[in-house]
Amino acid sequence: MSQIIQAIYRNAQLNPNQIALSGLDAENNATSVTYRQLIDKLENTANSIKQLGGRCIALRAENSIDWAIVDLAAMMVEMPLVPIPTFFSNQQIEHVLTSTGADILVGDWNEQFDHQDSVCHLEGLPAYRIYAEPCGALLEGTVKVTFTSGSTGTPKGVCLSEDNLFRVSSSLVTALDVDVARHLVLLPLSTLLENVTGVYVPLILGVTSMIFPGEHVGLTGSSKFNAQYFAQALAQYQPNSLVLTPALLMALIQVVKHNPQLGEPLRFVAVGGARVAAEIMETAHQLGIPAYEGYGLSESASVVSLNAPNRVKHGSCGVALEHIEVKVAEDKELLIKGNIALGYLNEPFNDEWLATGDLVNIDPDGFIHIHGRKKNQIITSYGRNVSPEWIESQAQVFIPAAKLLVVGEAQHSLSAIVEPSDYIVERIHLLNGSLPDYARIQRLILTSNLATHTHWFTKNGRPRRDVIETWASELISGRNTNTDHQIIELY
């Protein structure tokens, strides 16, 4: 039996009446499930999955208690499950289904089926049994396939074993070392990070995971945010732990500045997904927000390193968790060993060390400092290598509300594409004052609305650097004569 499921059984024996899951079910009914009740629900759902007789489950649904139950029941019967983000395009969904051969579809498939077509319900989620050709791409031992967004928009499937998931979860339990009774799920559970930290870790600890649809707590899709709903959720549910992206951390900082009481119940706030400037983390701690930056990747079942209350260094993403070994290659790329995924679909990993694609240095105390993606490095005409992510994260300190993109491949100097705002030139000068000369912004490209350039970003909002660099190069050279953009030379 899965070690995660075994931990749930142990907690059901020790504290049967302790609340395991609290929140809304798939039909938006408020509910709470004790550990004893959770075991019953998992066993019933597992039996229903067995009766469907499929090979692989594709789960596409908003966050709910039922989402977590289906996920755990599939693990109980060792059937591979593929979480699909609700913001994936139809093309991406088709790619996921074809590449995995999923033949049980659970959740929101209204565009493919009428609700009456469901063969059963797994908890409150409709399930559809379809015919799909066996694709043979799932690696032996796979219990979860998590899809990256892909830099080109085509998601790539990572095959994870139950041991992968348990090792990272149990290692996080050890690293936390704080008194947490209630975790509030904010990110989509289809995100591996929240799946691990919002479901597996609390249930191993024997505490409560509070699960609501994203809109209920202020986050819709991949990036739409409502600060009022977020603040209301903090006030109503008083969570002890959260997992946030850097943008959500900055929102939390503003909320706590206006209402310090909302931060008082927090004991641990993990921050990941992108590099965070040290000044932002220091501001959070000055406000009493226990924010700790971490780092991870799907190919290692999510979290690799983490700062913690007893071992923290702002500006780093912490030290490697106990189940992971790390080292730095000659070209500064981070290599990891110890909890590597089974591989990509139909592409097993065979090397002892996994090349992460991230450029780092590890200081004498073991803290990992991420500088950016190896493939995203800008090489200026003077031969200087610069990571755009480093400068973009530092910009959060001086222009926190602005989206800023750094370009400069083969150029004499760096440029920043940014939306117009009050005192933008003065703020960029302040940013430059915090950077070495070779990393300073020499030119501003003001564009009225970055969001309209949809082809610049992947479906989950990651910049397509090559596309943006080409556009900026043409604009600077005069080959693009579009007058919707203003160029300001700073020096």
**Could you give the CA distance from residue 57 to residue 291 in angstroms, rounded to a whole number?**
35
| DSSP-assigned letters across all residues of 239-284 | -SEEEE-HHHHHHHHHHHHH-GGGGTT-SEEEE-SS---HHHHHHH
The rounded Cα 127 to chain-centroid distance in angstroms is: 26
Residue owning tokens 């790390």: 326
Burial of residue 154 (number of CB atoms within 10 Å: 0-12, 13-18, 19+): middle
Give, to the nearest 10 degrees, the angle between helix 388-398 and helix 278-286: 40
Residue 278 in contact with residue 284, Cβ under 8 Å? no
270-311, pLDDT tens digit by residue?
999 888 889 999 999 999 999 999 999 999 999 999 999 999
Q: Is the pLDDT of residue 231 over 60?
A: yes
Q: What percent of the chain has pLDDT over 70?
A: 96
Amino acid at 202: P
Q: Is the pLDDT of residue 176 over 50?
A: yes
For residue 151, the model assigns a pLDDT of: 45
Contacts 24+ apart (CB under 8 A), 423-426: 424/399, 425/488, 425/490
**Could you give the CA distance from residue 12 to residue 30 in angstroms, rounded to a whole number?**
22
Query: Band of the pLDDT at 149, cuts 50, 70, 90?
Result: low
Q: Is the pLDDT of residue 267 over 90?
A: yes
For residue 56, the model assigns a pLDDT of: 96
pLDDT, average across residues 467-474: 91
For residue 223, the model assigns a pLDDT of: 61
For residue 305, the model assigns a pLDDT of: 98
Query: Band of the pLDDT at 154, cuts 50, 70, 90?
Result: low
The count of C-alpha atoms lying within 13 angstroms of the C-alpha of 353, restricted to the half-sphere facing its C-beta, is 12
Quick one: DSSP state of residue 139?
P
**Could you give the CA distance from residue 190 to residue 108 in angstroms, rounded to a whole number?**
13
Quick one: DSSP state of residue 212?
-
pLDDT, average across residues 189-198: 96
Rounded to 5°, the CA angle 331-333-339 comes to 145
264 forms beta bridges with none
**Could you give the CA distance from residue 343 to residue 333 in angstroms, rounded to a whole number?**
20
For residue 382, the model assigns a pLDDT of: 67
C-alpha distances in angstroms, 145 versus 49, 68, 344, 483? 18, 16, 9, 45
Residue 100 in contact with residue 82, Cβ under 8 Å? yes
Burial of residue 118 (number of CB atoms within 10 Å: 0-12, 13-18, 19+): middle
If you average pLDDT over every residue of the chain, what do you get? 92
Domains of the chain: 3-370 (3.40.50.12780), 377-489 (3.30.300.30)
- 152 by DSSP, 3-state: which? coil
Does 28 or 89 have the greater pLDDT score?
28
pTM of the model: 0.86
Count of residues in the chain = 491
**Could you give the CA distance from residue 123 to residue 69 in angstroms, rounded to a whole number?**
8
C-alpha distances in angstroms, 439 versus 391, 443, 446? 7, 12, 19
| DSSP-assigned letters across all residues of 429-487 | HHHHHTS-GGGSEEEEEEES-GGG-GGGB-TTS-B-HHHHHHHHHHHHHTS---TTEEE
Among 220-224, 383-387, 454-458, the least confident range? 220-224
For residue 381, the model assigns a pLDDT of: 72
101-125, pLDDT tens digit by residue?
999 999 999 777 766 678 899 999 9
Beta-carbon count within 10 A of 430 CB: 13
Burial of residue 17 (number of CB atoms within 10 Å: 0-12, 13-18, 19+): exposed
Query: Band of the pLDDT at 152, cuts 50, 70, 90?
Result: very low
Burial of residue 453 (number of CB atoms within 10 Å: 0-12, 13-18, 19+): middle
